Structure 1
Amino acid sequence: MKLKFFFKPAGMITVLILLLFSCKEFIEPSIDKRSVTLQAPSDNYSSPKYNVSFWWDEVEDALGYRLQIVSNNFSSPGGLIADTVITKNTFSMNLDPGVYQWRVSAENGSSVTAYSAARTLTVLQSSIKQQAVELRLPANNALINKSLTAFQWSSLYGATQYHIEIDTNNFVNENALVYDQTVPGQQVNFSLPKDMIYQWRVRAENDTAQARWSAINQITLDKTPSEKVTLNSPINNQTVNNPVNLQWQALAGAAKYKLYILKADSTSNFSQNFPLIVISTNYTFSGAETGSKVYWKVSAIDAAGNEGDAGTARNFTVQ
């Protein structure tokens, strides 16, 4: 018997659209025939500012963009200044005075576009007073769980030293800063004193002038471990059927959970798959043979990466 399917025109169009979107979820589209359109800086742009912001149009189905910058030009480069892949369609960095060319290609997991036509830009030498360094690490609004922190920033042409300040009150009172030092390089390692929100900034200097302060970045130090997780089921010493649905209570402040499943000795991991990171508050376990005794426990991990105490393990026996 043959089956016949009848679709109204509007229904057929809907089905085709759904099929196209479903296929796109599983088959990554090729972008090798597409192109990247540069926006700024314009070709032959020149500026006395050392910080240059690059901007281009997004390419559909691209997962990243490769930005290349060379001194002089790509035909006879004086040096490779940058060759980096980023996920956004903007990028900024400080350049020394000189002539440069830049170009961008888009890429995803299986294809890449041709590079855009290269553009030329000129950075003019000017007073350090009009410049500012770029902060690198920690990233703005970073959440960290280690007191010892590496603060890094970009170099600035004409600078001989860098003034770094760290505060908890947005630099309202510069006589009461957490940290205030002038250093010759572009990194300072400093142990933040306690769990708090901190702000930091850097200013380039030389013997005759001071640059503008950088943007202010914020970081949060959180070393406090999460509380213990309360296990729900199965209860301790329970006999259960395979597979076993392990459940525990959600914990406020937890970003994820670490599930420990242990052998009958209560100390050895059940397999190389454990401990396992779980986002939800349950897990279906089916790896134990009939008659096996299995131990389990769960710890919470907060957004800063602090893992709490998993507490005493429960056990169950598979029947």
Structure 2
Amino acid sequence: MNSKVVFILLLLSVGVSLTLSSCKDLIEPDISNRQVVAEAPGDKLQTQNYSMNFWWDDLEDALQYRLQVVSPKFDSIPSLVLDTIIKGTKFSINLSPGYYQWHVRAENGSSKTAYSQAKSFTILQSSIKLQKVQLSTPANNFLTNQNSLSFSWSPLYGATQYHLEIDTANFADEKSIYYDKTISGQQINVTLSKDQVYQWRVMAINDTAQAQWSAINTFTYDRTPPAAVKQIAPGDKTTLNNPVSLQWNTVSTAVKYKLYVYKADGTTPYSSSFPMLLTATSYNFTTGSSGDTVYWKVTAIDAVGNEGPASDTRSFMIQ
């Protein structure tokens, strides 16, 4: 086989591969004949830990998974304990002592698998001292610019109260905790006083014992907006040919920018596209007509959503 034929065959092979890949992008694969492999908890597990960690193998082309937990069995269900959609392949929840079964299936926009084979597990009653609360909201690494924040966690069997601590120094000094409160429920609103990275945790208690501290979640309260944007080009009151490149400086705390473009009155948006969110620090303005006067300004927006002060408003005329 000469080199020319080999080259042609190679091109055909690449073309088929690209075609199959393109078809897969356009047509969602059918996963109904596939099977999710459920890993943990294993069948017939017995444990004194009220915190149960479910996980399963990832299935290609799945977008989400439906996890169901019942008590005691799927063929006799007096209690549907959990029926939830999960994007990943792991989920944790605190359960009361009892007998349970669980299964999981994969789903995408057009199809779903059968449920995995049901697995059973038993949670044995034990001392609250061995247990931990599962934190719910705010999630770990949460960002907010709202000073009133709701804290919530799952109930723990045997607990009568919950001890919430919020700190800014990772609980290094128990005598100077930022917020310290014991309540009977599993939710409380707390007002934050300053921009800061915070940590929070919860301990369940009853009349005779204390549980272990939960995991520590971190969140950031930030209401400080980014600095004002400084425009680079074009200069103010210039006359230019289309397209016009609008350019501005990078603001250190910004993750995106909002570009405002106005008609000749300086207040009416030039089109329904504006204001426009951009991650770049430039934009090619191409929609103007000859003789149009265009005004523009830019603001910076940080990861929390704080919008900084606007740049100066500049204008240009299209040649």
* Greater shift in the superposed pair: 163-172 or 75-84: 75-84
SS in 2 for 1:146: coil
Q: 8 Å contact 2:231–2:312 — kept in the other structure? A: no
**CA separation in 1, counterparts of 2:201 and 2:317?**
58
Matched pairs, number: 316
Give TM-score, length-normalised by structure 1.
Answer: 0.92
Alpha-carbon spacing, 1:123–1:309, altered in 2? closer, same or farther (3 Å): same
- Structure-1 residue corresponding to 2:253: 253
- Structure-2 residue corresponding to 1:34: 34
User: Alpha-carbon deviation of 1:240?
Assistant: 2.7
Structure-to-structure mapping, 1:142-161, within 5 angstroms: 142-161=142-161
- After superposition, the C-alpha distances for 1:263-304 in whole angstroms (9 at most, x for unaligned) are 322223233332221111122333333332222111111112
Q: Give runs of ≥4 in structure 1 deviating > 6 Å.
A: none
User: Alpha-carbon deviation of 1:17?
Assistant: 2.8
**CA separation in 2, counterparts of 1:230 and 1:214?**
46
SS in 1 for 2:31: coil
Structure-to-structure mapping, 1:208-219, within 5 angstroms: 208-219=208-219
Q: Can you give the 5+ residue segments of structure 1 that lack an aligned partner in the other structure?
A: none
**CA separation in 2, counterparts of 1:181 and 1:267?**
50
- Structure-1 residue corresponding to 2:102: 102
- Structure-2 residue corresponding to 1:114: 114
2:261 matches 1:295: no
User: Alpha-carbon deviation of 1:10?
Assistant: 4.5
User: Alpha-carbon deviation of 1:105?
Assistant: 1.2
* Greater shift in the superposed pair: 295-304 or 241-250: 241-250
- After superposition, the C-alpha distances for 1:193-233 in whole angstroms (9 at most, x for unaligned) are 21222111100111111111101111122221101111122
| RMSD, aligned CA | 2.1
Q: 8 Å contact 2:231–2:311 — kept in the other structure? A: no
Alpha-carbon spacing, 1:276–1:126, altered in 2? closer, same or farther (3 Å): same
Q: 8 Å contact 2:230–2:312 — kept in the other structure? A: no
- Structure-1 residue corresponding to 2:244: 244
Match of 1:96, as an amino acid? S
SS in 2 for 1:239: strand
Structure-to-structure mapping, 1:158-169, within 5 angstroms: 158-169=158-169
2:140 matches 1:140: yes
Match of 2:112, as an amino acid? V
Structure-to-structure mapping, 1:54-65, within 5 angstroms: 54-65=54-65
Match of 1:112, as an amino acid? K
SS in 1 for 2:136: strand
2:49 matches 1:49: yes
**CA separation in 2, counterparts of 1:6 and 1:121?**
58
**CA separation in 1, counterparts of 2:316 and 2:8?**
57
Q: 8 Å contact 2:41–2:55 — kept in the other structure? A: yes
Percentage identity across paired residues of the two chains: 53
**CA separation in 2, counterparts of 1:242 and 1:195?**
44
